[in-house]
Amino acid sequence: MSELNTIALSHDFLSRYAKESAVCIDATAGRGYDTEFLCSKVGETGKVYAFDIQKEAIESTEKRLSEKGYKNAEVILASHSDMDKYVKEKVDCIVFNLGWLPKGDHNIHTEAESSIEAIEKGLSLLKNGGGMNIAIYYGRETGFEEKDRVLKHLKTIDSLKYTVIVSEFTNRTNCYPISVFIMKD
């Protein structure tokens, strides 16, 4: 199987926007892999806001960043649907990984309603020329419902302002995650 996967696609896309001094949002910090990636790209003069609703995820992300010596992130214990209360500047890129905390409690996961609200707030915060990546992890009942509702919502995004691409690894099994790429014109 090719080494191309959801994370490789995501990081390749985010690299187009997360340049030196860029401002980024990780809307689902989890274990902090994407936050770390963004911090490595934007450098000391850039900034990464990372959100998660679980204390365990926040601590995990902070530990990862501190071990790597990154000081350019603000890790926030709050829902991404409240991102506009914390982020008061326009941003270059935003990443979402919808689903549950890896090696965490599978009963706590992103939900369609707050994810859609957060996607809309994220789109408003994006600079013109900025990009958003959403990796939709699913495979449980709630994951299916969220996937369907998010995909339906994506079709309603204004095509005059945004380009929205939904991509699937169509011959991979076991509910392989769906990758979404949104570019603000």
34 touches ligand SAM by CB under 6 A: yes
Nearer to ligand SAM by Cβ, of 105 and 185: the residue is 105
Q: Is the dihedral of CA 38, 161, 9, 141 positive or negative?
A: positive
Write the CA distances from 62 to 58, 72, 121, integer angstroms: 6, 11, 24
Q: List the one residue from 101, 126, 154, 182 that touches ligand SAM (CB under 6 A).
A: 101
Pairwise CA distance, residues 77 & 120, whole Å = 20
Q: List the one residue from 32, 130, 143, 177 that touches ligand SAM (CB under 6 A).
A: 32
Pairwise CA distance, residues 66 & 19, whole Å = 21
108 touches ligand SAM by CB under 6 A: yes
* Positions in 143-172 near ligand SAM (CB under 6 A): none
Residue by residue, DSSP assigns 22-52 as -EEEES--TTSHHHHHHHHHH-TTSEEEEEE
Contact pattern for ligand SAM over residues 12 through 31, marking x by CB under 6 A: ----------------x-xx
Contact pattern for ligand SAM over residues 109 through 138, marking x by CB under 6 A: xx---x----------------------x-
> What end-to-end distance do the CA atoms of the chain give, in Å?
34
Residue, CB closest to ligand SAM: 30
177 touches ligand SAM by CB under 6 A: no
**Element spanning 151, H or E:** helix 141-154
Q: One-letter amino acid identity for 73?
A: A
Residues that bind ligand SAM (CB under 6 A): 28, 30-34, 51-54, 57, 79-81, 97, 99-102, 108-110, 114, 137
